[in-house]
Amino acid sequence: MQYSDTSTLDPATEQLLKQVLHYAKQKGITLEKIQSLYTEEGEQTVPLAAFASELSPSEGLCKYLKDHYDLTYAQIAALLNRDDRSIWTSINRAEKKHPGPFNPDSDIRIPVKIFADRSHSILEHVIIYLQEHFGYTIYKIAKLLNKKPSALYAIAKRGHAKE
């Protein structure tokens, strides 16, 4: 599964992109910030911190969509290509673990549309997205998600085997 655009760039565009990235690096602008600016306007995204909380990936994703975008269970289910009863269960469990508004913040944002593909788990999608878009290692992803690298390695291996 490829999340990135595999089209080739002409030399002039590639040179311009290199200049922009060099300028951004000089000014201390992170790749994550550039990516967050690049996401399509109006595209629904979830901060990476939603997956680093005490909630399960499903609970964090569903609760964030409910709290931040004010979506109904049916809308979340349609967006994620899942049954609305499982969405209700995830949000109900999340409410018990984390009552009140759920507003994790992070410069790294994951597009919600990638989770509609049911061939991978939510966490597999997150790991593959971070590896393909940011070139992050499993160790770096584990630090960002407050998880053990060995556990994420197994999840990533399973996710890549499905591709």
* Cα gap 39→41, rounded to integer Å: 6
Give the pLDDT score at 83: 95
| SS3 call for 155 | helix
Dihedral of CA atoms 49, 138, 45, 18 in degrees, nearest 10, equals: 120
**CB-side neighbour CA atoms (13 Å) of 22:** 6
DSSP state for residue 147 in the 8-state scheme: -
Give residue 106's pLDDT.
82
Walk along the chain (163 residues) in steps of 10 and give the mean pLDDT of each run.
Answer: 57 84 82 62 84 93 92 94 96 93 85 94 95 93 94 93 86
Q: Which helix (H) or strand (E) holds 47?
A: strand 45-47
The predicted pLDDT at position 4 comes to 47
Distance separating alpha carbons of residues 140 and 110, to the nearest angstrom? 16
pLDDT at residue 7 in the model: 56
Residue 11's pLDDT is 85
pLDDT at 55: 93
Q: What is the pLDDT of residue 36?
A: 60
